[in-house]
Amino acid sequence: MKFSDRGIKALEVRDKEYQVREAHGFTIRVLPSGVKRWEYIYNSPLTGKRRRMHLGNYCEAGAVHEPKTDTSLATAHQRYTDARGLVLKEIDPQAPPEPESIPEPAGRPLTVKELKKKYIAHITGGLNEKGEIIHGLSPDSVKNQDNRLEKRLIPAWENRLITDISKNDAIELLECISKPGAARNILLAGRAMFSYALDRELILFNPFANAGKAVPKTAPNERDRVLDDDELRRIWPLLCSKGKPGIIRRVLLIILLTGQRPDEVAAMPKIEIEANGRWWMIPKERAKNKKEHRVYLSAPVRRLISPLLLVPGDYVFPASRGAEGPVGVTSLDSHVQRYLSDEEYAGLPRWTPHDLRRTYATGLASLGADDSVIDVLQNHKKIGVVRIYNRYKYDADRRAWAIRWAWEIRRILRSK
């Protein structure tokens, strides 16, 4: 319709808002409140997405109105014409104005070595120059990042100015690292360090931003690793050996035998083991999905745990070397990678403690366990299982499949 005061005044108010257009996106929108709002609807030249530009609320020419919001037909049409003129010039009328110049970072540019020192101090935490508390990362995380940057990034760029590091420099550095895991670690650590510099306006861009897209080997591994029977036969003797540290190897064996999450097994308090030693009750406070969970401990698992219950302390698997608390998940990862044998990952393709949990689930499925049963046994969130009054409902299934899986592991180890 061709807009006119008479036509707009005649637009009725409805329960739901609706709109009427004149042409080329010039629109009046009628709201249930009675307000009639001018709008310009257009496709942004920058993004191609549909946008809506508010031009003011309708008021009849000559009527008493609020200058900041009420707009006559003539004024709204002029605003629409001006905005459409910008769109035809491929300018988005609602885009912020382009800066006249890009500010240069203040102060003398740092070298990469100087930036690394500042960044490590930042993530360590403590007090800043104003005496304010800075919350840092865990000591293990700080140590890992420091080691990675010192080993890979500093030798390549030590005395270069951070303002001179380009995205191509980052890509070339990642491509020179042969191991995908090491390349991925440097991508993450380097990106975090340069983000710190960007936030403090020490640089104008992060050279590691999107650099991973150009280096496919830095892509995260798909979470589908399952150890086959031959691999289980290879690692089982290594896990059962009496070499140090035996506690960590017991944790790995129990993850495989129970299918529970590595962090929940490693941090197992002794009070969670029931008096008969056959059941492990994980409280909702410790469970990943905040659902209380019961695990039946088969005979092989009980033999692994029982001696440790007699040792003084609160945890079944205490941390070593005088550290307080239980074994950490990073210790499990390191042991799998470095200490099972003379070869990385015991000479197998890369695997992790969580892959033992996945191997358990796949093994039960091959034995005929229904997906819903496996979800119960592994306390998957999507089932939404077992309220307090129902905590023992699946105990028969838990016991039966724990025993059957123990026998399956025995069969695998004895077969060729």
Neighbours of 87 (CB within 10 A): 19
237's tokens: 């003797």
Cβ-contact 157, 208 below 8 angstroms: no
201's tokens: 């306006």
Which has more pLDDT, 102 or 300?
Answer: 300
pLDDT exceeds 70 at position 272: yes
Q: Is 343 exposed, middle or buried (0-12, 13-18, 19+ CB in 10 A)?
A: exposed
User: What are the angstrom distances between the C-alpha of 377 and each of 170, 225, 293, 369, 398?
Assistant: 45, 20, 9, 10, 6
Which CATH topology does 5-88 take? Double Stranded RNA Binding Domain (3.30.160)
Closest CA to 39 of 25, 54, 24, 50: 54
Mean pLDDT computed over 169-195? 89
243's tokens: 């070499």
Q: What are the domain boundaries of the chain? A: 5-88, 112-218, 229-414
Name the pLDDT band for 321 (thresholds 50, 70, 90): low
3-state secondary structure of 98: coil
- pLDDT given at position 383: 38
Q: How far apart are CA 113 and CA 132, in angstroms?
A: 25
Q: How far apart are CA 229 and CA 413, in angstroms?
A: 8
Which CATH topology does 112-218 take? DNA polymerase; domain 1 (1.10.150)
Q: How far apart are CA 223 and CA 355, in angstroms?
A: 8
Pairing, β 126-127 against β 70-71: unpaired
DSSP 8-state code for residue 128? -
The tens digit of pLDDT for each residue in 127-178 reads 555 655 555 666 777 888 899 999 999 999 999 999 999 999 999 999 999 8
350's tokens: 């890369």
Mean pLDDT computed over 103-110? 64
3-state secondary structure of 399: helix
- 46 contacts: CB under 8 Å, gap ≥ 6: 92, 95
- 399 contacts: CB under 8 Å, gap ≥ 6: 296
Q: How far apart are CA 248 and CA 272, in angstroms?
A: 19
Q: How far apart are CA 149 and CA 269, in angstroms?
A: 36
Which has more pLDDT, 84 or 124?
Answer: 84
Tell me which long-range contacts 373-377 makes (C-beta under 8 A, separation of at least 24).
373/397, 373/401, 377/259, 377/401, 377/402
278's tokens: 């056959």
DSSP 8-state code for residue 275? T
Q: How far apart are CA 96 and CA 100, in angstroms?
A: 12
**112-218 and 5-88 share a CATH fold:** no
User: What are the angstrom distances between the C-alpha of 249 and each of 242, 386, 413?
Assistant: 9, 31, 17
User: What are the angstrom distances between the C-alpha of 334 and each of 200, 205, 326, 340?
Assistant: 34, 34, 16, 10
Which CATH topology does 229-414 take? hpI Integrase; Chain A (1.10.443)
The tens digit of pLDDT for each residue in 360-397 reads 999 998 888 888 888 899 998 653 333 443 556 678 88
